Amino acid sequence: MNKIIELLIDFNNTEFDELGVDIMSLVDRPAIGVDWMAFAEETEEVITEDVESEVLKLAAELGETLDAENTVFIDMSKDKFSTIGDYLKGVVGLDILGRRGLEQGEAETKYRFAGPPAERNFCKSMLRLNKFYTIEEIEQMSRRIDTGFRHNNQSYSLFDYKGGVNCKHYWEEVELYKEGRETVVIQKGRASGNAGQVASAANDYWRYEGSSQFAFSDDDEMIVVGPAMIPDQLILRKDADGIPFHVFFSKDTVKKIAEKFFKEMKHNNTDINHDDNITKNNTILESWIVEDTKKDKSAMYGFELPVGTWMTSYRINDEDTWNKIKAGELNGFSVTGEFVQKLIK
């Protein structure tokens, strides 16, 4: 097993002046594995409440509600039945299909709004409806959104973007087989493409053309926000002989590093891919330590980060650097500094 080393900026509770972070590097591949987000001018653009109300009214009128007593669900997205209950449901469903002589061609493909418990009213209402929609019905709801909301003259797709760029929900694809009062639902898992994707900082979901908030425009605000350091995350390194090992920072060390970074007035030091060509052109706007994974501001941006993560946001004042960010050549932060090594195992 590779050796594991903890990196520190103090030893026996005594800090050393030469230790700590000197530069916030803008890199193509962040060692912490989490990319930042880049913001255009209209970061608060959302579907208005009156349009939401219209869409939800239409959603209640369209779609199909299934009778729970006469419906059997078979989850085909699982590799195997996880419980005896799942197994029995599968047996019953397959028995119905076999007994009725239903064939693959008789299935009707529909979609259900799915995902974790919601916070926004729109997503709460869509989950509560628990309806199954055809793609044509979802497109009809999208057109209703379009009557009161368009982003950069782009049509808004409810199928692609659900409740917005930070929405944690997705469309589940199902096949419905019906015979009399009985219905068998084959759950196929998340729909393909954008429809089945959940927004997160780890993908480029928000970059897609027509995205509701983060599509780049001519009035770019040139701001990036993301994690600078994540505590207790193992980062792969290689020694002079090419032998791999892992390093990590504790929550306490991450907090100390962030404080020292500001205390020593190094917070506007940035470079590109650790090239040591330091510039002070870029301006740090915010810096904070995540204290609650659900309620922290980072969650609003779609990040899912552990307590103790050091978050930062910078305004990029160099147009060449910003163009590299827009092109996907620079994707996150990586710190440069000196640390004490403590062998763990």
pLDDT tens, residue by residue, 227-284:
999 998 877 777 777 788 888 889 999 999 999 999 999 989 999 998 989 999 999 9
Q: What is the DSSP letter of 69?
A: G
* Residue-level pLDDT at 310: 94
* Residue-level pLDDT at 158: 87
* Residue-level pLDDT at 308: 94
Residue type, 23: I
* Residue-level pLDDT at 283: 93
* Residue-level pLDDT at 262: 92
Q: Which two tokens stand for residue 256?
A: 């100390």
* Positions in the chain short of pLDDT 70: 1-2, 11-16, 32-48, 76-106, 146-155, 165-166, 199-220, 302, 345
- CB neighbour list of residue 133: distance below 8 Å, 6 or more residues apart: 59, 62, 63, 64, 110, 111, 112, 141
Q: Extract the runs of DSSP E, i.e. beta strands, from 269-339.
A: 270-272, 283-289, 310-315, 332-338
* Residue-level pLDDT at 212: 30
- CB neighbour list of residue 252: distance below 8 Å, 6 or more residues apart: none
* Residue-level pLDDT at 257: 92
Rounded alpha-carbon distances, angstroms, from residue 191 to 137, 195, 209: 16, 6, 19
For residues 330 and 9, the answer to whether their CB atoms sit within 8 Å is no
